[in-house]
Structure 1
Amino acid sequence: MGMKAHRSYVRRLSLSPEQTAELDQQGHAARALWNLLHEWWTWGGCTRRPTMRQTDEAIRQARKDIPWLADLPAQAAQQVLKTYLRAWKNFFDGHARPPEFKGRVRSRMSVDNPQASKLRIRRLNRRWGELTVIKVGRVRFRWSGSLPGVGREPGRITGARLVKDTLGWHVAFRTEQDRPDPEPRPGPAVGIDRGIHVPLALSDGNDQHHGPWLRAKEAERLLRLERKAARQWRARMRGQPASNRLRRTYDQIAKLRARAKRRRYDWQHKTTTTIAAKYGLVVAENLRLTSMTRSAKGTVDYPGKNVRRKSGLNRALLGEAHGRTIELLEYKLAERGGQMLPVPAAGTSQKCSACGHRDPVSRAGIKFSCTSCGWVGHADTNAALNILAAGLAVNGRGVDTVGRRREASTTRRSAYHPGKPARPRAAGEATPALAREGSEA
């Protein structure tokens, strides 16, 4: 038995001005087709829904009647319909919001080339490759890594999607690879606490850090451009749209932010690959990031407190993109036979990992000093140890050095009665933290 791994590989395109103009035209046509579908699909409310056959016939007739809509290839037009129907299915299943109209400025242009046989991918040299785009011709792209199904690489390419962002056009190759089912890997277990001062604090002390996503000169230029955009926005006539100069400033800001996003994504991929290759069980908090980054502005009747401070905290949390880190780590662990285990986040930063006593006063910033046993350490490391203990209790792997199961009643008692001290330890008895370190060593 085996499994089919579906992955996407993104490469940057190198286009001539004529090819860029042609792809831009196709992207605008795909966006307009989406809006036409949405208007026709939602016209008349929920009582009227056209069938798949009626919608397909309407698209074929529209490509004959509207010249600029015919610039979009037929396969790409059919893919717009499939994507639109899939968006409705995701909404009905409760996974996403309902489809909306796509704006010309804020939406990201994309064109599908679903037929892999027409791509004709070929490697030119060490740095460049080439593929065929319908109605555009042969296009070069950066060969920044191997592709399944090209050359001697196992697997196959099932299609491609052309996407444009602030840095230009890119191609995302959809691939499929046959892989054997991974065997369960009994590797070491680790708890991960996600934060701001320490992006990923691991229970064994192997914390993962990163520097600022933008260099000093880039951050200075970004601040200067944001202030310039604010001045240009205030100088415009009230009720008038943004000027061309303001749009150009917005484009420069978007390029710097896209550069920071790429560096963050690169760090996340490298870090999660290292963690997935080293550990067999990773325990992480089940954080509600949407609620954590909600604005504290409040209402007119009930205004919020410390709004600017909370907005800065929200920006810092969103800048770390902790949700994507867990998504990457989850599928990489599954490929290697590991396991990702989420645990509730309540109380992990207020409980002492040594004695189990829970007291909000024990934590002061990044320092944790237990008011019961006097244990002192980094607050994020203490939280990671508590997360690991909660995961081992759920997973049934919590065995200390003397072979006894960890007492779950002590944890429950300290959680529900934070004023009561935990079970006193006998003379010479190791703390749970030391026992874990000894078992992992």
Structure 2
Amino acid sequence: MTTQRACGGRQFGHRARLALTPAQVLLMDGQAHAARTMWNLLHDWWTMLPRDRRSLAAADAAIRQARKEIDWLAHLPAQAAQAVLKTYFQAWRNCWEGRAGAPGFKARFRTVMSVDIPQGRDLCITRVHRRWGMVNIPKIGRVRFRWTKDLPVGKHANAQNRITGARLVKDALGWHIAFRIQTLEPEPEPHTGPEAGIDVGVTVPLALSDGTTYDHHPWLTGKEQAKLLRLEQRAAHRKSLRKPGERTSHRLRTTYDQIAGIRARAKRRHLDWQHKATTAIAAKYSVVVVEDLNITNMVKSAKGTVEMPGKNIAQKSGLNRAISGEAWGRAIAMLTYKTARQGGTLHKVPAPGTSRRCSMCGVTTPGSRESQAVFVCKNPDCGWVGNADHNGARNILHLYRMGLALIPAAGRAVVRRARRVKPATAR
């Protein structure tokens, strides 16, 4: 006898690399600059008008008039222009509700170039063979993209499983397309795997309580690191020759683009490793426990002030770069949704004391953490010696089993609302 599981809707994105010809790259750049300029014109129009004349209909009429009067704004498809308008209004709504600051102008060289395709039916996606697919981009034509994930297209697409739209984004490695996918998936069954605590670090990125470690090699090869150093030195030299107020030269901007390309390659490799590691952890363990770290405070500068200057500034700067490079917050965010998809859960426990407590005897003694990798318990009745990262991971799991898991932010809000409700009194 089989039981039918309930299904739930899921929305996610999938990013793929585009293979554009040089002519198509120029057209895409033109559309992206037109979208950025339309945002700036819309922002200028919005801030100059009185408040009583600001409305969505008036903004839509202004955009239509601008597309008629300015020829190169028509390079942007009409639906993409409407998407700019909706995004601008959503930015103001986020500002009014306290989720973000007020929107401003988008600079030419500091803004991510992007174009939105709001309707999925315009894409007309087909699969060419195992590695490549074809997608239709308005006013560009048919473009090849890297096929790395099965998409709900053709006979596999329906009202519940379909592509609702896409967004074209340009980074240091070229143009990419990010599909917006809506699917209907069965609710996962409860995970029956073991529990695990995870200690994040710099030397060992992920250390688990059962002794498992997830490590990685440097993201750049020796030649790539040497090339990055040469480019950074060249950029610093060319920047020193620039006069105050002078515009950045094309040579310096080209050097900046080369540096950004190498760093983007390292970030892509890091993302690939994080996805693989977190997927393996979510598939194996039913309960994943991590520390509730305030990473923003951990990477603050140690310079101090003029009255109270900091100490070991260079060492702290190197540690801050190492912590930021490991992207602990991104790994925890990946584990959060991946464990939920596998039927497991992720919990956070208080961070203080997890690295100094002995997981064998439970006693915290000064000087037990002799080095970054070795933990030696100074308790005369214990004397346990082991790996410091695994010791911290076991302490993290112990806090969860003792019932010291923190309530998530949404759960705390529910608890606060429940406490404010007064019980009904009998009349």
Q: Would you call these one fold, judging by a TM-score over 0.5?
A: yes
Q: Does 1:228 align with 2:234?
A: yes
Q: Residues 192-341 of structure 1: matches in 2 within 5 Å?
A: 192-341=198-347
Quote the offset at 1:384 in angstroms: 0.7
Residue aligned with 1:254, SS? helix
Maintained 8 Å contact 2:366/2:378: no
Partner of residue 7, structure 2 = 2
Distance of aligned partners of 1:214 and 1:136 in 2 relative to their CA distance in 1, 3 Å threshold: same
Partner of residue 438, structure 1 = none
State the TM-score, normalizing by the size of structure 2.
0.87
May I ask how many residue pairs the two structures share in their alignment? 395
Out of 134, 138, 143, the residue aligned to residue 142 of structure 2 is 138
Quote the offset at 1:395 in angstroms: 7.5
Out of 384, 387, 396, the residue aligned to residue 393 of structure 2 is 384
Maintained 8 Å contact 2:209/2:393: yes
Quote the offset at 1:361 in angstroms: 2.3
Residue aligned with 1:394, SS? coil
Q: Does 1:59 align with 2:66?
A: no
Quote the offset at 1:91 in angstroms: 4.1
Partner of residue 434, structure 1 = none
Partner of residue 419, structure 1 = none
Quote the offset at 1:39 in angstroms: 3.3
Maintained 8 Å contact 1:14/1:140: yes
Residue aligned with 2:148, SS? coil
Partner of residue 383, structure 2 = 374
Quote the offset at 1:34 in angstroms: 1.9
Residue aligned with 2:213, SS? coil
Partner of residue 29, structure 1 = 34
Residue aligned with 1:363, SS? coil
Q: Residues 154-169 of structure 1: matches in 2 within 5 Å?
A: 155-169=161-175
Quote the offset at 1:211 in angstroms: 0.5
Quote the offset at 1:310 in angstroms: 1.2
State the TM-score, normalizing by the size of structure 1.
0.85
Maintained 8 Å contact 1:87/1:99: yes
Identity in percent: 55
Residue aligned with 1:175, SS? strand
Once residues 391 and 91 of structure 1 are traced to their aligned partners in structure 2, the CA distance between those partners, rounded to angstroms, is: 37
Distance of aligned partners of 1:178 and 1:16 in 2 relative to their CA distance in 1, 3 Å threshold: same
CA displacement 1:175-228 (0-9 Å, x = unmatched): 111011122223211001111000001011111000000111111111111111
Once residues 97 and 41 of structure 1 are traced to their aligned partners in structure 2, the CA distance between those partners, rounded to angstroms, is: 16
Partner of residue 71, structure 1 = 75
Instruction: Say what the alpha-carbon RMSD is for the aligned residues.
Output: 2.0
Quote the offset at 1:315 in angstroms: 0.9
Maintained 8 Å contact 1:34/1:84: yes
Query: Which sections of structure 2, spanning at least 5 residues, go unmatched?
Result: 1-5, 406-427
Once residues 90 and 399 of structure 2 are traced to their aligned partners in structure 1, the CA distance between those partners, rounded to angstroms, is: 38
Once residues 154 and 347 of structure 2 are traced to their aligned partners in structure 1, the CA distance between those partners, rounded to angstroms, is: 36
Q: Residues 357-368 of structure 1: matches in 2 within 5 Å?
A: 357-366=363-372, 367-368=374-375
Query: Which sections of structure 1, spanning at least 5 residues, go unmatched?
Result: 397-441
Maintained 8 Å contact 1:42/1:49: no
Quote the offset at 1:234 in angstroms: 1.2
Maintained 8 Å contact 2:282/2:338: yes
Quote the offset at 1:44 in angstroms: 7.3
